[in-house]
Structure 1
Amino acid sequence: MKQPVMWQELIAMVKHEVLPALGCTEPISLALASAIASEYLDKNNIRKIDAYVSPNLMKNGMGVTVPGTGMVGLPIAAAIGALGGDAHAGLEVLKNITPQQLAKAKKMLADNLVSVKIANNNKAIYSEANIYTDTDHVKVCIENAHTNVIAIVKNNVTLYKNKQNNQGGSQNHTIMNSLSVKSIYDFATNVDFEAIKFILDSAELNDALSQEGLRQAYGLSIAATLHQQTKTGLLADDLLSKVIIRTTAASDARMGGATLPAMSNSGSGNQGITATMPVVVVADYLEATQEQLARALVLSHTLAIYIHSKFPPLSALCAASTAAMGSAAGMAWLLGNGQYEPIDMAICSMIGDLTGIICDGASNSCAMKVSTSVASGFKAVLMALNRIRVTGKEGIVGDSVETSINNLGAIVSNSMKVTDLQIIDIMSHKA
Structure 2
Amino acid sequence: MSEQINPKWTQFIQAVQEEVKPALGCTEPISLALACAMAAARLSGDVTHIEAWVSPNLMKNGLGVTVPGTGMVGLPIAAALGAIGGNAQAGLEVLKAASDDAIVRAKALLNAGKVQVNLQDPCEDILYSRACVYAGKASASVTIAGGHTRVVQIVCQGETCFSLDEQQQSGTVDPLGVLADTTLAEILEFVEQAPFSAIRFILEAAHLNDRLSQEGLSGKWGLHIGATLRHQQQRGFIAEDVGSSIVIRTSAASDARMGGATLPAMSNSGSGNQGITATMPVLVVAEHLKVDEETLARALMLSHLSAIYIHHQLPRLSALCAATTAAMGAAAGMAWLLDGRYQAIAMAISSMIGDVSGMICDGASNSCAMKVSTSVSSAWKAVMMALENTAVTGHEGIVAHDVEHSIANLCALACRSMQATDRQIIEIMASKI
Q: How high is the TM-score relative to the length of structure 1?
A: 0.97
What amino acid does structure 1 have at the position aligned with 2:296?
L
Show the 5 A alignment for 1:169-248.
173-248=176-251
SS at match of 2:217: helix
Q: Name structure 1 gaps, 5 residues minimum.
A: none
User: Where does residue 84 of structure 1 map in the other structure?
Assistant: 85
> 1:340 Cα deviation (Å)?
1.2
CA distance in 1, matches of 2:45, 2:412: 46
Q: What per-residue deviation string (whole Å, max 9, x for no partner) do you get for residues 228-267 of structure 1? A: 0111111101110000000010000000000000000000
1:250 equivalent in alignment to 2:253: yes
Q: State whether residues 43 and 83 of structure 1, in contact with CA within 8 Å, keep that contact through their aligned partners in structure 2.
A: no
The 4+ residue runs of structure 1 with deviation greater than 3 A are: none
1:163 equivalent in alignment to 2:189: no
Q: What per-residue deviation string (whole Å, max 9, x for no partner) do you get for residues 31-85 of structure 1? A: 00000000110252x2210000000000000000000111000000000000000
Of 121, 124, 128, the match for 1:122: 124
Q: State whether residues 18 and 272 of structure 1, in contact with CA within 8 Å, keep that contact through their aligned partners in structure 2.
A: yes
Q: What per-residue deviation string (whole Å, max 9, x for no partner) do you get for residues 250-287 of structure 1? A: 00000000000000000000000000000000000000
What amino acid does structure 1 have at the position aligned with 2:153?
A
CA distance in 1, matches of 2:175, 2:430: 30
Q: What per-residue deviation string (whole Å, max 9, x for no partner) do you get for residues 3-46 of structure 1? A: 000000000110110000000000000000000000110252x2
Q: State whether residues 18 and 175 of structure 2, in contact with CA within 8 Å, keep that contact through their aligned partners in structure 1.
A: no
CA distance in 2, matches of 1:72, 1:424: 17
Q: State whether residues 43 and 82 of structure 1, in contact with CA within 8 Å, keep that contact through their aligned partners in structure 2.
A: no
Q: Name structure 2 gaps, 5 residues minimum.
A: none
User: Where does residue 405 of structure 2 map in the other structure?
Assistant: 403
> 1:173 Cα deviation (Å)?
1.8
CA distance in 1, matches of 2:314, 2:368: 19
SS at match of 2:34: helix
> 1:164 Cα deviation (Å)?
2.6
User: Where does residue 324 of structure 2 map in the other structure?
Assistant: 321
Show the 5 A alignment for 1:302-321.
302-321=305-324
> 1:136 Cα deviation (Å)?
1.1
Q: What per-residue deviation string (whole Å, max 9, x for no partner) do you get for residues 63-112 of structure 1? A: 00000111000000000000000000000000011111111111111111
- The 1:43/1:396 distance shift into structure 2, 3 A limit, reads farther
User: Where does residue 111 of structure 1 map in the other structure?
Assistant: 112
User: Where does residue 74 of structure 1 map in the other structure?
Assistant: 75
User: Where does residue 292 of structure 1 map in the other structure?
Assistant: 295
CA distance in 2, matches of 1:51, 1:171: 29
CA distance in 2, matches of 1:3, 1:192: 7
Q: State whether residues 141 and 156 of structure 2, in contact with CA within 8 Å, keep that contact through their aligned partners in structure 1.
A: yes
Q: What per-residue deviation string (whole Å, max 9, x for no partner) do you get for residues 348-385 of structure 1? A: 00000011100000000000000000000000000000
What amino acid does structure 2 have at the position aligned with 1:144?
G
Q: State whether residues 45 and 136 of structure 2, in contact with CA within 8 Å, keep that contact through their aligned partners in structure 1.
A: no
CA distance in 1, matches of 2:75, 2:258: 14
What amino acid does structure 1 have at the position aligned with 2:311?
H
CA distance in 2, matches of 1:3, 1:172: 17
CA distance in 2, matches of 1:173, 1:41: 35
User: Where does residue 66 of structure 2 map in the other structure?
Assistant: 65
CA distance in 2, matches of 1:296, 1:151: 39
What amino acid does structure 2 have at the position aligned with 1:288?
V
State how many pairs are aligned: 427
SS at match of 2:416: helix
- The 1:416/1:74 distance shift into structure 2, 3 A limit, reads same
User: Where does residue 422 of structure 2 map in the other structure?
Assistant: 420
Show the 5 A alignment for 1:358-369.
358-369=360-371
Q: How high is the TM-score relative to the length of structure 2?
A: 0.97
Which sits farther off after the overlay, 139-148 or 116-125? 116-125
Q: State whether residues 248 and 367 of structure 1, in contact with CA within 8 Å, keep that contact through their aligned partners in structure 2.
A: yes
> 1:123 Cα deviation (Å)?
1.1
> 1:172 Cα deviation (Å)?
6.5
